[in-house]
Amino acid sequence: GAVVSQHPSRVICKSGTSVKIECRSLDFQATTMFWYRQFPKQSLMLMATSNEGSKATYEQGVEKDKFLINHASLTLSTLTVTSAHPEDSSFYICSARDPNGGAYEQYFGPGTRLTVT
């Protein structure tokens, strides 16, 4: 149980274009999902917390107009990187909190490698 999928796994886009990444909880309903960014050989950096049916809560320093998050259903959250630039290239990972699990346990998707050329 507690499986989270993420799509696409890899994407290459040109500078100035937008990219959408999907995160789905496959076998549970996730009222809360999280979006992380990870640089090589580093830990996870929380970007935002996504709550179904309400606006996402962004961490300090994360531009909400650049990283658009939509959590329209209990099983799907999307992250759109708008007007992407090479410095946005990174590994983006989503996670979901299983309401039937521990209060702090998060289940992660496989990640999306974004390369902006």
Partner 1 sequence: TQLLEQSPQFLSIQEGENLTVYCNSSSVFSSLQWYRQEPGEGPVLLVTVVTGGEVKKLKRLTFQFGDARKDSSLHITAAQPGDTGLYLCAGGNNYQLIWGAGTKLIIKP
Residues of this chain that interact with partner 1 (CB under 8 A) are 4, 6, 41-44, 46, 91, 93, 95, 102-111, 113
Q: And the tokens for 23?
A: 């995160």
Smaller CB separation from partner 1, 67 or 107: 107
- Least CB distance from residue 57 to partner 1, whole Å? 10
The vertex-6 CA angle with 19 and 72, nearest 5°, equals 75
Smallest separation, CB 95 to partner 1 (Å): 7
Query: What is the rounded distance in angstroms from the CA atom of residue 111 to the CA atom of residue 75?
Result: 17
- Residue placing its CB nearer to partner 1 in the complex, 55 or 113: 113
Nearest approach, Cβ of residue 66 and partner 1 (Å): 22
- The span from the CA of 94 to the CA of 102, in Å, is 18
Q: What radius of gyration, in Å, describes the C-alpha atoms of the chain?
A: 13
CB-wise, 85 or 113, nearer to partner 1? 113
Smallest gap, in angstroms, from Cβ of residue 93 to partner 1?
Answer: 5
Query: How many CB atoms lie under 10 A from the CB of residue 27?
Result: 11
Task: Indicate the residue among 28 and 107 with the shorter CB distance to partner 1.
Answer: 107
To 5 degrees, how large is the angle CA 102–CA 104–CA 107?
A: 85
